[in-house]
A and B are shown apart, each in its own frame.
Chain A
Amino acid sequence: DADVTQTPRNRITKTGKRIMLECSQTKGHDRMYWYRQDPGLGLRLIYYSFDVKDINKGEISDGYSVSRQAQAKFSLSLESAIPNQTALYFCATSDHGTGRETQYFGPGTRLLVL
């Protein structure tokens, strides 16, 4: 089984709808991240969490919210989806400490907002 899983893998929604993307990990890592990827722009950080009680905004948090339900689960919500939120969304995890900075990515969720 994959260490970092994301559901759904694909989602089509309409403008104004609320949607949630979910991420689960079995790596036992404290740190979790949400990114979005747009063509030609690489990955941009939306939110990150270093433990269950810690939530931090990333570079592009407007229009998004997150919930860290447990060490293994980190959800991303779009409160009122808009077309320019159409993108590929990735969840990632990492451990902490020197030598453990590698991030491990889920397979991604492709979101289309009509």
Chain B
Amino acid sequence: SQQGEEDPQALSIQEGENATMNCSYKTSINNLQWYRQNSGRGLVHLILIRSNEREKHSGRLRVTLDTSKKSSSLLITASRAADTASYFCATATLGGNKLVFGAGTILRVKS
């Protein structure tokens, strides 16, 4: 079974707009990570947020984590056509050493 569930399943926006993707999970976590996958390729790590953190930034990415609601969001600001990809959240559970991935959000940025 999957720990993380992303919402929405698919998102289509215009270049320059912001894109927000959400992830919900079921059990307590050590950290939550976001990955990006270009069509049919391997996943690339974007950002990691720990359970004691509430917000992290990396370039145009902003991640928030609400452990009381067991949810996280990924915001991509000023989107570009090159941001078109699938985005996955993955959770590392307490004491666990492996990741559980959600089903992903497909983002399409139109130029």
* A, B bound: yes
Number of A residues, CB within 8 Å of B: 27
- A43 & B101 in contact (Cβ 8 Å cutoff): yes
| B interface residues (Cβ-Cβ under 8 A, vs A) | 1-2, 4, 31, 33, 40-45, 48, 88, 90, 92, 97-104
- B42 & A42 in contact (Cβ 8 Å cutoff): no
- B103 & A40 in contact (Cβ 8 Å cutoff): yes
Is A58's beta carbon under 8 Å from chain B?
yes
Partner of B40, one of A48, A58, A92, A110: A110
| A interface residues (Cβ-Cβ under 8 A, vs B) | 4, 31, 33, 35, 40-45, 48, 50, 58-59, 88, 90, 92, 96, 101-108, 110
Beyond A101-B92, A103-B99: 18 further Cβ-contacts under 8 Å? Answer: A4-B42, A35-B101, A41-B2, A42-B2, A42-B88, A42-B101, A42-B104, A43-B90, A44-B101, A45-B99, A48-B98, A59-B1, A90-B42, A101-B33, A102-B33, A104-B45, A106-B42, A108-B41
